[in-house]
Amino acid sequence: MSRAVLLVNLGTPTAPTPRAVRRYLREFLGDRRVVPLPRALWLPLLYGVITPLRSPRVAKAYRGIWMAEGSPLAVYSRRLAESLAREAGLPVALAMRYGEPDMETAVKELLRQGVRKLTVIPLYPQYSQTTTASVFDRLAEILARLPAQPGFCFRSDYHDHPAYIEAVAGSIRDFWQRQGRPEKLLLSFHGLPEKSRRQGDPYYDQCVTSARLIAAALGLGADDWMLVFQSRFGPARWLGPYCVEVLKRLPQEGVWSVDVVCPGFAVDCLETLEEIAGTNREVFLQAGGRQYRYIPALNDSPRHLTLMRALVEENDERST
């Protein structure tokens, strides 16, 4: 056995409880890539104020979306990995950047099986220093401690890959064939501080490219869709336009029906199911909107599996 695939997603608490959420948030928000503040300033605030206050509230939100098999992010990621292993005929391990299954355990288990070449695919279509770069940091840290390093091919992004564009556009097309089209489609991506663009992070530009290519694949006109950003946090200026502000404004402009899709999320999670599908729906309806629908992420769909197979085969060709 010489080749294997490592899929890496963000992570999730192991249970919808304050204790599990607190443990997860400490690891996630303790990453310098996520919150680049001095540790002496940030960690006391994180451990003493933020996680004690946020954990009960976040745990309650998780309970509202929890599946019989666990957290949606973990369930769909695991199903995708299992399907890819069957289809590709290769060992496929799933790891989380934060939480379980952790990256170090996954890598060492593959090496114990005789794997000597890894194809590593972070499940982030668009590159960001807060996500993809953090996965690379952790992978390098793990490999640096090994007596013999395996070869690896690291997929930094796939924001404009034809199989990705077709997978997202196809899922939207299928949804509209069943449910009908709205007046406006919002393509919503997770936000970052505006300063990330000045620092050279390509995330914003890749989101713009992805959105334009998806809209083009659907044959949408300029007035049929919008690019927006969600999950703003703190007082600093973030990438815009902000999803919530757009949803409040659209009914005033005579737009009564919207569909929202989140192409930056490989699988559904707390942010898409609780914030986008739930909270933001109420925002739009309270502003006077009449129909709001969330189009699910690719999750463990056949389209997503086709995309993953394409990335694996392409990376294998590059590393041969």
pLDDT average per 10 residues of sequence, the chain (320 residues) = 92 97 96 93 95 96 97 98 96 97 96 94 98 98 92 96 98 98 98 93 98 98 97 83 97 98 98 96 98 98 98 73
The per-residue pLDDT for 1 is 54
Query: 87 is written with which tokens?
Result: 């289809």
Q: Which amino acid is at 76?
A: Y
Please give the C-alpha separations between residue 10 and each of 63, 97, 201, 268, in angstroms, as whole numbers: 19, 5, 18, 12
Please check whether residue 91 is in contact with residue 4, taking contact to mean a CB–CB distance below 8 angstroms: yes
Please return the burial class of 198, using the count of CB atoms within 10 Å of its CB with bins 0-12, 13-18 and 19+: exposed
Overall residue count recorded for the chain in this entry: 320
Residue 271 annotated as part of some ligand binding site = yes
Residue 111: CB atoms within 10 Å: 17
User: Measuring CA to CA, which residue among 94, 99, 95 is closest to residue 26?
Assistant: 99
DSSP state, residue 241: S
Helix axes 51-65, 18-29, angle to 10 degrees: 120
* CA pair distance 308, 318, nearest whole angstrom: 15
Residue 1: CB atoms within 10 Å: 10
Handedness of CA 269, 64, 276, 47 (dihedral sign): negative
| Domain assignments of the chain as residue spans, ordered by start | 3-158, 162-295
Residue 159 annotated as part of some ligand binding site = no
Domain 3-158 - what CATH class? alpha beta
Same CATH fold assignment for domains 3-158 and 162-295 = yes
* CA pair distance 129, 115, nearest whole angstrom: 28
Phi, psi dihedrals of residue 289, rounded to the nearest 5°: -65, 160
The per-residue pLDDT for 320 is 45
Q: What's the topology of domain 162-295? A: Rossmann fold (3.40.50)
